[in-house]
Amino acid sequence: MNAPHETPTTPTFASRLPNVGTTIFTVMSALAAEKRAVNLGQGFPDFDCDPRIVDAVAKAMRDGHNQYPPMAGIAPLRQAISDKVANLYGRRYDANTEVTVTAGATQALLTAILATVHPGDEVIVLEPNYDSYVPSIELAGGKPVFVTLEAPDYAIPFDKLAAAITPRTRLILINTPHNPTGTVWRAGDMKQLEDIVRGTNVLILSDEVYEHMVYDGAPHESIARYPELAQRSFVVSSFGKTYHVTGWKIGYVCAPAALTAEFRKVHQFNVFTVNTPMQFGLADYLRDPAPYLDLPAFYQKKRDFFREGLAKTRFKLLPCTGTYFQCVDYSAVSDMTEADFSTWLTSEIGVAAIPVSAFYHEAHESGVVRFCFAKQESTLATALERLARL
């Protein structure tokens, strides 16, 4: 009890994430807004989604779908997901026991990690990596083990990946198409991963949120295509990325029944379930496959327009075979650190970018920054006009 005149104080405690601050995306977006820069930093579209999907959600609301749905997601949406995956990748996940609707892909990733990783377990992470991976592992008490991909091609060093596996390895976290580098896994890569994990008790968490953004006619090599891998894997995807509705925060996880059962034990206590009318709207919208089948061509057009413009600047283009991110080497422009260059580019040139160094767990300078081209052509044209002045 406080003494009569003692000033109340907030109790102190040890942080669960002592090394985590504000994300680079928040920092750069705030700076872009302050400087009125073209924001090619954070990965979200600046154009509207298909009005049909909004109408489908509105109809669901008017039809009374406004109370709690089932914990795992409504049956029509889980069935639609199962059908889509079977049609695209040849694996049928049971809609009742192997498909779960989540509050976005980030929640799906955290939930899969919390469900499988015990204190002291090791999780292999290929870096640069999306910024939620390592904090999620640390919240579970796990130990991230890093395998580094190097510019300019960011090829997967399978010898180092194999060497990183120990008796304590619980999980390998992969991401294809890959944020931030824009690279994709090919069939040969998946076969090498099969060879590495065969005979082990290692699980795989496959982040495939950009599955419909693979270019130049190449297929998306989902883990679901490979029976050996699928049997030990959680496959994560995102409606937000696919349908230009990142603010809706709806994704899903497909996994064998035994893995799904453990996933749902955690899922029911960290979100329980997901927005009901949006689930009904998505189930209705998924009946037409054209929006996701046409997406590679839609984004490839933007990629090609942006790359053609960047080719006229002093930046060196790195490969972009997937996602809606383009990385560039700026060494011909500046010798600043990636963070300093991104800040300068935003403040002085009026185009926001993200330093790729932010996606590594410790200092790692390659002279590379990442742009997002999920923007209207007019937005990209304005950015290119400014970048051409460099």
DSSP-assigned letters across all residues of 162-174: HHH--TTEEEEEE
- With 80 as the cut, is the pLDDT of residue 57 above it? yes
DSSP three-state, residue 144 = strand
**Number of C-alpha atoms within 13 angstroms, CB side, residue 284?**
15
Separation CA 157–CA 155 (nearest Å): 6
User: Which one-letter DSSP state was computed for residue 349?
Assistant: I
What's the confidence (pLDDT) of residue 381? 98
Residue 5 — pLDDT band, cuts 50, 70, 90? confident
Q: What is the mean pLDDT of residues 195-222?
A: 98
- With 70 as the cut, is the pLDDT of residue 371 above it? yes
307-366 residue pLDDT tens: 999 999 999 999 999 999 999 999 999 999 999 999 999 999 999 999 999 999 998 999
User: Which one-letter DSSP state was computed for residue 84?
Assistant: H
% the chain with pLDDT above 70: 99
Geometric angle at alpha carbon 316, from 310 and 320, rounded to 5°? 75
- With 90 as the cut, is the pLDDT of residue 283 above it? yes
Q: Collect contacts of 286-293 with beta carbons under 8 A, ≥24 apart.
A: 286/77, 286/80, 286/81, 286/84, 287/80, 289/84, 289/87, 291/50, 291/242, 291/243, 292/84, 292/212, 292/242, 292/243, 293/212
Higher model confidence: residue 6 or residue 34? 34
Geometric angle at alpha carbon 172, from 169 and 173, rounded to 5°? 145
Sorted by where each starts, the structural domains of the chain and their CATH numbers stand as: 24-49+293-387 (3.90.1150.10), 51-289 (3.40.640.10)
86-121 residue pLDDT tens: 999 999 999 999 999 999 999 999 999 999 999 999
What's the confidence (pLDDT) of residue 223? 98
- With 90 as the cut, is the pLDDT of residue 206 above it? yes
- With 90 as the cut, is the pLDDT of residue 4 above it? no
Mean pLDDT of the chain: 96
